[in-house]
């Protein structure tokens, strides 16, 4: 491994990289493979962040690296001047693994860019302006996407005025009900609140789309109740509003299925995806039905770098690896083991107020005895984990939710080792 002076790299980073960029650790990554990252400090870390839910096959998966290298030697860039095979193959493969309602794709580079594309597509084909998003959601940092993002006000500070005609309905976060109700007796009151927006603030006939994370990511790894998801689909269909599933974080097996929508049999009108799509190469996509996508006329949207040939080749190899390695099934077993163990830990540790999630997307809400968020306790736990070589990142507005999002290739033994570290950090 090449020698790296971490202190030197960090000093130079601070001199020439914008301070707006926040790094989660002080580790300088020198090399990475699978679940592991080797730091300039010579230590090996278990990356339970997957580079922010992105390297779903682990770092540098060999078949993806090989496919990217092969493509790189033949064609690196097209800029929409030429057609090329890797992009077409990817679109065909995606049509196979996305929900049945999704048939055609527009490729771009980042999650936020995909969200921008989805907003433009929805406005273009409906001729309507209004957009409904959900409080606590994270959809990216570009001006359109950040107008929907409310996971934390810091993303919006000093950027107003944002996109007009964006309305926010409460996300169904039952552990901390936005309507102050208990799940057993609430009658999905937050859905009633959404309907009130359509009566008091914007007529449904003026709403182009609702943008919904099937599982809330940055906002706290919250799984919505089944009836809420189905009601949302019914409402959108009734009012001719396009339902956009933002699967940037939940997609590509992260939540135990190809896409989290499948947990509810949800057929979105539009889907956005990024992160895990190409194992770390910058790529994202907006998908829609043929009926919707063919109404987006030539030149209505475009890109120079989107759908880069190398990134598309990497994405095809990523899909192959998930299928050939039966990674959805394998990761489901490891996730079930983790859930059982964490729920057992929860019984012994009252500070773990809620444990939730699907697949390799597990959230643990740290609380004080009065149920207030226990941010400091989580920070201490994370620090102890890091000292023991385990990287765990947080989410939620109060930064009190630990999110476990290891690669899908994580074995049961590796999960066991990580949970041993976590448990000791938590209890000792």
Ligand X SMILES: Cc1ncc(COP(=O)(O)O)c(C=O)c1O
| Closest-CA residue to 321 (of 98, 108, 103, 97) | 97
Q: At a CB cut-off of 8 Å and minimum separation 6, what does 244 contact?
A: 118, 119, 122, 209, 210, 211, 212, 268, 269, 270, 271, 272
Give yes or no for residue 59 binding ligand X (CB under 6 A).
Answer: no
Instruction: Please report the DSSP string for 253-286 in residue order.
Output: TTTSSSSGGGGGT---SEEEE-GGGGTTSS-EEE
Task: Choose the stretch contacting ligand X; rule: CB under 6 A; options: 60-68, 183-191, 241-249, 373-381.
Answer: 241-249
Q: Which region, left, alpha or beta, applies to residue 138 given φ > 0 means left and ψ of -120 to 50 means alpha?
A: beta
The helix/strand/coil state of 237 is: helix
Strand pairing category for 242-246 and 270-273: parallel
Burial class (CB in 10 A: 0-12, 13-18, 19+), 141: middle
Instruction: Report the residue from 130, 140, 224, 396 that binds ligand X according to the rule CB under 6 A.
Output: 140
Which residue, 84 or 138, is less far from ligand X as judged by CB? Answer: 138
Q: How far is the CB of 82 from ligand X (least distance, A)?
A: 26
CB nearer to ligand X: pick between 153 and 184: 153
Contact status, residue 423 vs residue 391, Cβ threshold 8 Å = no
For ligand X, give the closer residue by CB, 101 or 109. Answer: 109
Q: Does 111 bind ligand X (CB under 6 A)?
A: yes
Rank residues 27 and 277 by Cβ distance to ligand X and give the closer one: 277
Residue 145 C-beta: closest distance to ligand X, Å: 7
Q: Give the one residue of 139, 168, 176, 358 binding ligand X; rule: CB under 6 A.
A: 139
The residue sitting closest to ligand X, measured at its beta carbon, is: 111
Q: Which of residues 208-227 bind ligand X (CB under 6 A)?
A: 213, 217-218
Closest to ligand X by CB, 47 vs 218, is: 218
Residue among 68, 115, 311, 392 that touches ligand X (CB under 6 A)? 115
In angstroms, what is the minimal distance from the CB of 277 to ligand X? 10
d(CA 423, CA 367): 16
260-289 residues near ligand X, rule: CB under 6 A: 274
User: Angle 143-277-10 (CA atoms, 0-180°, nearest 5)?
Assistant: 65
Q: Which residues contact 97 (CB under 8 A, 6 or more apart)?
A: 258, 259, 319
Asked if 357 is part of the footprint of ligand X (rule: CB under 6 A), the reply reads no
Chain contacts with ligand X (rule: CB under 6 A): 110-112, 115, 138-140, 213, 217-218, 246, 248-249, 274
């Amino acid at each position: 491994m090449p020698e790296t002076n971490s202190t030197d790299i960090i000093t130079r980073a601070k001199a020439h990289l914008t301070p707006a960029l926040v790094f989660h650790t002080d580790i300088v990554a020198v090399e990475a493979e699978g679940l592991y990252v080797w730091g300039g400090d010579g230590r090996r870390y278990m990356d339970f962040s997957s580079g922010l839910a992105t390297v779903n096959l682990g770092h540098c998966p060999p078949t993806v690296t090989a496919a990217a290298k092969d493509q790189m030697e033949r064609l690196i860039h097209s800029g929409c001047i030429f057609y090329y095979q890797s992009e077409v193959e990817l679109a065909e493969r995606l049509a196979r693994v996305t929900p049945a309602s999704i048939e055609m794709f527009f490729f771009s580079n980042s999650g936020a860019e995909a969200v921008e594309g989805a907003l433009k597509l929805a406005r273009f084909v409906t001729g309507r302006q209004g957009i409904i998003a959900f409080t606590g959601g994270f959809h990216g940092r570009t001006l359109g996407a950040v107008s929907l993002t409310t996971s934390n006000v810091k993303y919006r500070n000093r950027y107003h005025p944002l996109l007009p005609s964006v309305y926010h309905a409460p996300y169904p976060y039952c552990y901390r009900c936005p309507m102050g109700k208990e799940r057993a007796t609430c009658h999905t009151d937050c859905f009633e609140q959404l309907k009130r927006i359509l009566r008091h603030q914007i007529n449904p006939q003026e709403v182009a789309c609702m943008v919904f994370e099937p599982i809330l990511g940055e906002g706290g790894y919250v799984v919505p109740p089944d009836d809420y998801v189905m009601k949302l689909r019914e409402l959108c269909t009734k009012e001719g509003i396009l339902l956009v599933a933002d699967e940037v974080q939940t997609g590509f097996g992260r939540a135990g299925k190809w896409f989290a929508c499948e947990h509810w049999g949800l057929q979105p009108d539009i889907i956005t995806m990024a992160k895990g799509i190409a194992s770390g190469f910058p790529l994202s996509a907006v998908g829609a039905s043929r009926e919707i996508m063919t109404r987006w006329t030539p030149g209505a949207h475009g890109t120079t770098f989107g759908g880069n040939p190398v990134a598309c080749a990497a994405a095809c190899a990523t899909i192959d690896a998930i299928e050939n390695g039966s990674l959805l099934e394998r990761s489901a077993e490891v996730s079930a083991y983790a859930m059982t163990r964490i729920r057992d830990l929860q019984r012994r540790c009252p500070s773990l107020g809620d444990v939730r999630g699907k697949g390799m997307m597990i959230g643990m809400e740290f609380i004080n005895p009065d149920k207030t968020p226990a941010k400091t306790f989580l920070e201490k736990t994370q620090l102890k984990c890091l000292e023991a070589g385990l990287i765990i990142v947080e989410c939620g507005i109060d930064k009190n939710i630990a999110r476990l999002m290891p690669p899908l290739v994580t074995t049961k033994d590796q999960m066991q080792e990580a949970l041993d570290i976590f448990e000791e950090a938590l209890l000792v």
